[in-house]
Chain A
């Protein structure tokens, strides 16, 4: 390379027009992560608002909670749909399991923010320790969601008798167990469709998050960030992980509480 090559090549510290400046006092990676998250907020908000819109277009179940039976005529009461817990069969424990899931995800968000704090101090041991706890929390959450889906798909012992148009395009009245995209024992078909779509999209984000966290954990453990001179990657992946937690907070409210 000759001495007359580009200005970027010459200067070890990049100039203001050579990418050396930091707009908004945030690094390129952090800024891009924020704008990616903003676009993801719009995607999730569109899904969740669609849920709300379709929900209010159906009548809500109005009778006493004890007499609730699933029907595609009205929207179900969430605490009567999500009332099962693993390993105990036939017990009515409304929202307990999903409460535990929420607790696990919020806890993993706390351990993540502790990992970021350790990253600011260049403390590799603490970063590795807290990232490992975060991975554990994320993986446990995914396991819980897999169980939740499994239970939702297979349904209750009783099932519900519904009149609906089946996949052969004929109107039938029969006992339905569990849920699929065509019919479900809990409520209108769109109830299960939205449940699968939105919690599935969120679970997909968590899966990617766990993968990124593992990558981050590995790179921190072998000392790549020490050689790089900073732990900013922990911070960026932390932003993503907190976002996943943020979305779950809204999913929890809309699907399980309202």
Chain B
């Protein structure tokens, strides 16, 4: 009785190999970018260029995670934009606080 109740009534679909392959491919890209960042941390001179590259690569990774892993790219356009557009506010926060920090630096030293 118990076993019968526990048995699935849903139809199980076969594995979609193409989709799974895409997931592993995305994982490979994420890993490759991380390894590249790791190598850059030790081989390149510290400075604005390196920091800019780090942040650009990080956003590139974030893009893959959101679009492929979180399937945001498959949602309807209004939902997609209602998540992405508010993030524009963060650009201003970043500029404002980076400026604030460097002003404090100038006052202290």
A229 to B24, CA, bound (A): 28
Q: CB-CB < 8 A to B43: which residues of A?
A: none
Q: List chain A positions with a Cβ less than 8 A from chain B.
A: 24-26, 31, 34, 38, 41-42, 45-46, 49-50, 52-60, 77, 79, 94-95, 99, 102-103, 106-107, 109-110, 112-114, 117, 120-124, 126, 222-223, 226-227, 229, 238-239, 242-243, 245-246, 249-250, 252-253, 257-258
Question: Cβ of B20 < 8 Å from any Cβ of A?
Answer: yes
The answer on a CB contact under 8 Å between A121 and B94 is no
Q: CB-CB < 8 A to B55: which residues of A?
A: 253, 258
The answer on a CB contact under 8 Å between A24 and B41 is no
In-complex Cβ contact of A25 among B23, B46, B61, B75 (8 A)? B75
Question: Cβ of B1 < 8 Å from any Cβ of A?
Answer: no
A106 to B69, CA, bound (A): 11
Q: List chain B positions with a Cβ less than 8 A from chain A.
A: 5-16, 19-20, 23-24, 27, 30-31, 34, 37-38, 41-42, 46, 51, 54-55, 57-58, 61-62, 65-66, 68-70, 75-76, 78-79, 82-83, 86-87, 89-90, 93-94, 97-98, 100-102, 104-105, 108-109
Chain A contact residues: helix, strand, loop or mixed: helix
Q: Across chains A and B, which 4 residue pairs bring their CB atoms closest together, nearest first? A: A53-B101, A53-B97, A56-B101, A57-B104
The answer on a CB contact under 8 Å between B101 and A114 is no
With contacts A79-B41, A95-B38, A113-B69 taken as known, whether A57 is within 8 angstroms of B8 at the C-beta atoms is: no
The answer on a CB contact under 8 Å between A103 and B34 is yes
